[in-house]
Structure 1
């Protein structure tokens, strides 16, 4: 039976959002995160400092914050469940579990920038070239009767070694 991951609720009063002037003053908004599960309720208070935060902006910010809190709660429960001994029935969420969950969530949410995408495409191309040259070198190994066949086999084998060596080097 799967455990109930619980749900985080973001609350706050509209009166907590100060009216902003056209100056560059920052808005200090109190937002509460209330976490409910079958046997526990936690309220976390946080202060947000955003310049120009409107009522609609506060609502959308609170919704986004709630989604992030829900994701973190689910990740904490997964990590806690994986590390809990089988003879212990009650969950024990430690600081370490929360830290591991936050790191895992951050890694998952991180999107590669354009240069990383370009680099991975180049690496994929090199891997495909290495695979194709290994295939052709294997086929050519059966036909080493003339000098040009031996030369082509040697070129393909060296190219395959270079491509695979580069791929291994990039992963280390």
Structure 2
């Protein structure tokens, strides 16, 4: 969520598209219900693609260890049974053979991709048996939070050149101080 706030404060085009999607959801409501519904969360396709692209470019985990279950050979390297192997997310997330132009922020790559992402190549929540069971919770939590922040507030970074660092998770190097103000027309 922090990286979403960081990205939205730095990229006006992405911010405008997220805001447009969130306001469209509010404008389509019938009656007086002001709380998000499950159906509305499912409509937040662009907002989730922004989060997915952020997790591709700045993965929540740098990588992880896996234990070799049998003797194997990978690209000419012998890996004995029982050895620990460390996989690194950017090895696939930033690979030009898997993601076209990987240095470019492009949420549309997660929208009906003409070139599907091969299994075990997009790993913000891990893959296989150690896949994070909190994936869906993280999606709902992120979408709900961003919806409420975007509809109610406008913000800008105090330090626009603030970089992302890792210790070990990614976070804004200065703690992401922002200037925040209520949105003038926050309701339809």
TM normalised by structure 1 equals 0.23
TM normalised by structure 2 equals 0.22
Give the structure with the higher percent helix. 1
Higher relative contact order (CA 8 A, sep 6+): 2
